[in-house]
Amino acid sequence: MTALADPGFRRLFATRLVGQFGDGVFQASLAGAVLFDPEHQAHASDVAAGFTVLLLPYSLIGPFAGVLLDRWWRQRVLVLTNVIRAIGVLGVAAEIAAGFAGIDFYASALVIISLSRFTLSALSAAQPHVVADADLVTANALSATGGAVIAAAGGGVAIGFRALLGDSDGDYAVIATTALVPYLLAAVIARAFRRTALGPSDAERAARETPREVLRGLIAGGRHLRAIPPVANGLAAIGVQRLFFGIWTVCSVLMYRNYFSSSGVFRAGVAGLGQAVAALAIGAAGAAFATPIAFRRLGAVWWPTAMLAGSAVVEISLGLTFTPGVLVVAALLLGFTSQAVKISVDTLVQHYVVDAYRGRVFAIYDMLFNIALVLAALLTAVALPENGRSPAAVVGIACGWALTALVYFIRGRRTTPSVPQLPDHGPTDHAPSATPADVDTPPRRVGRVGRRAAP
């Protein structure tokens, strides 16, 4: 693949993979300590409270964080956030060992998770600096899917540690502590970039991070986004898609916790949830290989539409069985379709949005993800039984995905050309190699996103 030939992309990719491996370990230790500890009872309301406390605060400040990504050197952001995450993990692990719960514990975990979200936004905003526009769809497939797969692998390692150590609070604390190693390694890898290699430009950095500048930058980012219908449509579609995916996720967690029984190779509890997460990761990996080809051949409208519609078919045909084996198969297929949509929207954002606004747009993108998951958790807390088994939810999820596919197709046919014309963003729209060399590489010619984009 052309993107992998660039040492700058390989280094950025490695930073993402190592950091997200740490995310997988840390999040699996949290899930085990909060949801699957035999001493705790997990209800839909508990899951909703956890999602709200951990995700909603960052959702409210996410756009402001995006403005900062357009002001601060992103290389410095990647180094410092990973170091702070490593330090914070020690504090959260101490709280797990002491058996802390409630708002104080969630607030501590919020710091780590918010920094992880901020880091992912920085990685996405930096990527066009190390990849030519014609290679963005492939680079997005590798980055987003590789990150999802490696995070699942980190979760699998945490589950393996649990089998060896046990499931007490002290054991989960030890597992959480191991996440600091990949976080520190990610900081070391990112430090190899030159300070200016990942942007933003000098002109954008000249603005000071006063509250007024942050607010003005947020408003400007929103206006810029609204003026680009292909991106606005894509973000709206993936926001709704994540809402229903979040409902599916909470239903699955509750069924593994309170409904399923182990049967053959398919397990209940945290081990069974690990199998579902692994299936999601495998499906996402398949999307990484298929999406670059399909997106170029089918275009920015047909391929996401097909994947949204495919999600609806999978849910209605497999979701009503309520057995762990079929849920794993559904997870495999939904991992493929949801990741294919995400790769497509990532590419639209990076393709159309000028670098001066890219950080704040990706932060708004991340905010939509978080708010969608919080809304999903709140809906399930009100409407779902405690064991997560709900035929009405299955039908509702399938109908929601089908309607999203239809609306996106109708709007996309009017606003998103099969071969979009690049707006004239100036020199920051190019993607020079972000290697540690002292001399900047000349910018490369950008390509097209769509059926006839350069491979």
Q: What is the pLDDT of residues 395-420, one digit of tens each?
A: 999 999 999 999 999 999 888 765 44
Residue range 217-234: average pLDDT?
Answer: 84
Q: Which of 8, 158, 150, 186 is nearest to 96 (CA)?
A: 158
φ/ψ of residue 191, rounded to 5: -65, -20
Q: What 3-state DSSP class applies to 197? A: coil
Per-residue pLDDT at 90:
94
Q: What 3-state DSSP class applies to 209? A: coil
Q: How many angstroms separate the Cα of 326 from the Cα of each of 296, 322, 385, 386?
A: 32, 7, 20, 20
pLDDT > 70 fraction of the chain, expressed in percent and rounded: 84
| Cα 240 to Cα 236: distance, rounded to the nearest angstrom | 6
Q: Which of 45-59, 65-79, 199-213 has the highest mean pLDDT?
A: 65-79
Give 441's pLDDT tier (boundaries 50, 70, 90).
very low
Per-residue pLDDT at 445:
32
Per-residue pLDDT at 382:
79
Residue range 436-448: average pLDDT?
Answer: 32
Whether pLDDT at 232 is above 60: yes
Sequence letter at residue 96: I
* Residue 425: inside a domain: no
Q: Which of 156-170, 213-227, 240-254, 348-362 has the highest mean pLDDT?
A: 240-254
278: containing domain: 3-195+222-416
Q: Which of 25-29, 98-102, 267-271, 283-287 has the lowest mean pLDDT?
A: 98-102
| H or E stretch at 408 | helix 391-415
* Residue 428: inside a domain: no
CATH number, position 87: 1.20.1250.20
Domain count of the chain? Answer: 1
Q: How many residues does the chain have?
A: 455
* Residue 406: inside a domain: yes
* Residue 104: inside a domain: yes
Per-residue pLDDT at 443:
33
Give 442's pLDDT tier (boundaries 50, 70, 90).
very low
Per-residue pLDDT at 430:
34
273-319 pLDDT, tens per residue?
Answer: 889 988 998 999 899 889 989 998 998 999 999 999 999 999 999 99
* Residue 424: inside a domain: no
* Residues 6 or more apart in contact with residue 455 via CB below 8 angstroms: 2, 134, 296
* Residue 380: inside a domain: yes
Torsion over CA: 176, 15, 56, 344 (sign)? negative
* Residue 427: inside a domain: no
Q: What 3-state DSSP class applies to 167? A: coil
Higher pLDDT, 417 or 440: 417
* Residues 6 or more apart in contact with residue 238 via CB below 8 angstroms: 341, 342, 345, 365, 368, 369
Q: What is the mean pLDDT of the chain?
A: 82
Q: Which of 21-25, 145-149, 189-193, 402-406 has the lowest mean pLDDT?
A: 145-149
Q: Which of 16-20, 168-172, 360-364 has the lowest mean pLDDT?
A: 360-364
Whether pLDDT at 33 is above 80: no
347-382 pLDDT, tens per residue?
Answer: 888 888 887 788 778 777 877 877 888 888 888 877
Per-residue pLDDT at 70:
79
| H or E stretch at 181 | helix 180-191
* Residue 360: inside a domain: yes
Residue range 378-399: average pLDDT?
Answer: 90
Per-residue pLDDT at 207:
59
Task: Give this prediction's pTM.
Answer: 0.72
Whether pLDDT at 66 is above 50: yes
Higher pLDDT, 140 or 440: 140
φ/ψ of residue 263, rounded to 5: -145, 105
